[in-house]
Amino acid sequence: MEKIIIGILLLLTVGCSLSGEKKEKEVRKYRNPILAYSVPDPTVIKAEDGMFYLYATEDIRNMPVFYSRDMVEWTLCGSVFAENSRPDFEPGGGLWAPDINFIGGRYVLYYSMSKWGGVESCGIGVAIADKPAGPFQDLGILFRSSTIGVTNSIDPFYIHDQGKNYLFWGSFHGIFGIELSEDGLSLKEGAEKKQIAGTAFEATYIHKKGKYYYFFGSIGTCCEGVNSTYTTVVGRAENLWGPYTDKSGRLLLENYFEVFLHGNDVFAGTGHNSEIVTDDAGKDWIFYHAFDRRKPGGRVLMLDRVEWEKGWPSVRKEEPALEAEVPFIEMKTVKE
């Protein structure tokens, strides 16, 4: 009898173990949108504390800051600016399309300030903070459309390449780049701007992978609700300054491109993507905004996995996922 009882206990133990193993391997899923209210033009960074921080155009006043442990569940933790620290170089202007970076041991955020339709008076500014949640100190304007000679100077993107700092920007009047100072807080003295893409694009993001630089941009209309035609497109080059081409070798300077992500029956206006973020399993992910046709309203926050096929990035079917496996994040890497 004693042997029978021990045997039963062993079976129960094995059963619990197998059940636990199965539970550990259970696939967690998320559903788009991951934030179902307006969070346009996202930019994201994994900070030194192991948390992810996300910033967006100020449909939430003074430019919202969110944090997350897993890239899926996001909590609003404040804003980049307060009323008494808000930039004022464009009176009555909105704060749009931030770009967050870690430069020289501090967090550097580039932002656009503009009124809708103010294509000559808008410009790009910069702010700094010691911590990703702020407080941020505004350092003011880098340049205006009128001073840099580029109409609609918004949508900044920073990249460090071969020991130098660069800023790219532009919206439907050409995409341009220029070298920045060593600390990234001003234009390099004597630097000259150079155009890298045509008039079809805005919302620049450049991603280096292998021997290629991948230019991501958005085309179409961003802000017409479910009638928006915003589409994310891509080209590539072997040099940061191009020439960027599509798969047939046609130039982005001549407004050619490859479609990366378009709308579908559920989501419209898929565009203005964030940086590509790599999870702890080595998989790449991208944030962007869209309009949810089921609940028309603001530009909601979306997340999709990026795959690489024959030297080009893609998302499944070139359209948003309704449901997908969550990114893999080792929670032990998060510092309390």
For residue 132, cis peptide bond before it (omega within 30 degrees of 0)? no
Whether pLDDT at 140 is above 80: yes
| 27: confidence class by pLDDT, cuts 50, 70, 90 | confident
Q: Are 108 and 80 in contact (CB under 8 A)?
A: no
For residue 168, is pLDDT > 50? yes
Does any domain span residue 182?
yes
Tell me the average pLDDT of the chain: 92
pLDDT (average), residues 131-154: 97
Q: What is the pLDDT of residue 103?
A: 98
Q: How many structural domains comprise the chain?
A: 1
User: Is residue 191 classed as helix, strand or coil in its secondary structure?
Assistant: coil
- Note whether residue 15 is domain-resident: no
| Distance from C-alpha of 73 to C-alpha of 30, rounded to nearest angstrom | 9
The answer to whether residue 100 is domain-embedded is yes
Confirm whether 12 is domain-assigned. Answer: no
Percent of the chain with pLDDT over 90: 90
95 Cβ neighbours under 8 A, 6+ residues apart: 57, 58, 62, 63, 80, 81, 86, 87, 111, 112, 113
Q: What does the angle CA 209 – CA 211 – CA 215 come to, to the nearest 5 degrees?
A: 55
Residue 120 lies in a domain: yes
Cα separation, 302 vs 220, whole angstroms:
18
Residue 9 lies inside a defined structural domain of this protein: no
From its phi and psi, is residue 59 left (phi > 0), alpha (psi between -120 and 50) or beta?
A: alpha
d(CA 118, CA 145): 10
Cα–chain center distance at 123: 20
Edge to edge, the sheet with strand 202-209 lists 202-209, 212-219, 231-237, 258-261
DSSP SS3 for 18: helix
SS3 249: coil
Q: Look up the pTM and report it.
A: 0.91
Residue 328 DSSP symbol: P
- H/E segment holding residue 7: helix 2-24
Structural domain contains residue 11: no
Domain CATH number, residue 324: 2.115.10.20
What is the arithmetic mean of pLDDT over 263-267?
98
Contact 129, 81 (CB under 8 A): no
Reported confidence tier of residue 318, pLDDT bands at 50, 70, 90: very high
Task: Return d(Cα 299, Cα 290) in angstroms, integer.
Answer: 5
Position 26 scores a pLDDT of 73
3-state helix vs strand vs coil in the chain, percent to 5: 10, 40, 45
In this structure, what token pair is assigned to residue 110? 């580039």
Would you name the residues annotated as active-site residues? Answer: 41, 202
pLDDT tens, residue by residue, 62-120: 999 999 999 999 999 999 999 999 999 999 999 999 999 999 999 999 999 999 999 99
Give every CB contact of residue 105 below 8 A, 6+ residues apart in sequence. none
Tokens of 77: 């933790």
pLDDT band at 332 (very low <50, low <70, confident <90, very high): low
Size of the chain, expressed as the number of residues it contains? 336
Confidence of residue 24 (pLDDT cuts 50, 70, 90): low
> Which amino acid type is present at position 196?
I
6 is a domain residue = no
CA 142 to CA 113: how far, in whole Å? 11
pLDDT computed for residue 132 by the predictor: 98
**Of the candidates 172, 242, 176, 222, the residue with the CA atom closest to the CA atom of residue 200:** 172
Specify the pLDDT at position 8: 35
Domain that holds residue 116: 32-333
Residue 1: pLDDT band (50, 70, 90) is very low
> In percent, how much of the chain has pLDDT > 70?
91
Per-residue pLDDT band for 175 (boundaries 50, 70, 90) equals very high
